[in-house]
Amino acid sequence: MPVEVAVTTAGAVRRGVVPAGEAWLTTARRLVPDAVVDPVAVDLSGPLKHFVVDVDLRVAVRPMVHGDLPDVVRWRSAPHVRRWWAGDGPATPAAVRERYLPAIAGDEPTRMWVWEVNGRSVGLVQDYRISDHPEYALLTPDPAAVGVDYLVGEPDRVGRGVGTRCLWAWAVHARARYPEVAAFFAAPDHRNRASLRVLAKLGFVEGLWFDEPQEDGTVTTVVGCTLDVGLVLGSDDDPP
């Protein structure tokens, strides 16, 4: 069955069938060659892959800096985050410094990023080659994949489509940084409906459930979700 892409731009919708071998994002870009900003994914979970050209909402993925740590403490302590991120233990200022400073300094393989929406920092995303974490690699289907964890920490920004936009911005950013990587991987708690829905909207496919030991000694049953980078985002060789 052919896959079709729709791009909403300035109130109009342009549609086109994805030619064999072309990434969905590449088709979306071809449909709006005159767009002033890149089309972004809205919902790729159904047969029609829906993108939008949105000139009013800009997302930046920037490296985390030392000065972000008070925000990180606040975000990690927010009830809607704690519910799904408790396994790392309490986010005291000391614990957050100990955890994130080495990554900020580039002294460990995990890379830390902050999402800015229209100039305001709203959350964080971390990514890593799964093969750099051998114990985790044993649990996951593809050690060659890049793993990702994320949160929108500002309570007033949650549940309004921001997480979907931000994670898409991360995916485009990560594709350029890991050009040889074929898959991105996330593993939310099986009860985390918002996170699972965001991943589905961006084209991640749910796979096996597995039990992930947490740093606090608990075990969480998570759903492995994989994004086929070539299928959805294409490669750097594709036309811009």
Ligand X SMILES: CC(C)(COP(=O)(O)OP(=O)(O)OC[C@H]1O[C@@H](n2cnc3c(N)ncnc32)[C@H](O)[C@@H]1OP(=O)(O)O)[C@@H](O)C(=O)NCCC(=O)NCCS
Contact positions vs ligand X (CB under 6 A)? 80-81, 84-85, 149-152, 158-164, 186, 188, 192-195, 197-198
Single-letter amino acid code for the residue at 122:
V
CB 210 within 8 A of CB 81: no
Considering the complex, state which of residue 24 and residue 168 has its C-beta at the smaller distance from ligand X.
Answer: 168
Q: Beta strand 40-43 with 48-53: parallel, antiparallel or unpaired?
A: antiparallel
Give the Cα separation of 87 and 101 in Å (integer).
19
> Least distance from C-beta 163 to ligand X, angstroms?
2
The maximal CA–CA distance of the chain, rounded, in angstroms, is 54
Chain residue whose CB lies nearest ligand X: 163
> Least distance from C-beta 33 to ligand X, angstroms?
27
- Among residues 40, 57, 198, the alpha carbon closest in space to that of 125 is found at 198
**Exposure pattern of 229-239 as b/e (b: 16+ CB <10 Å)?**
bebbbbeeeee
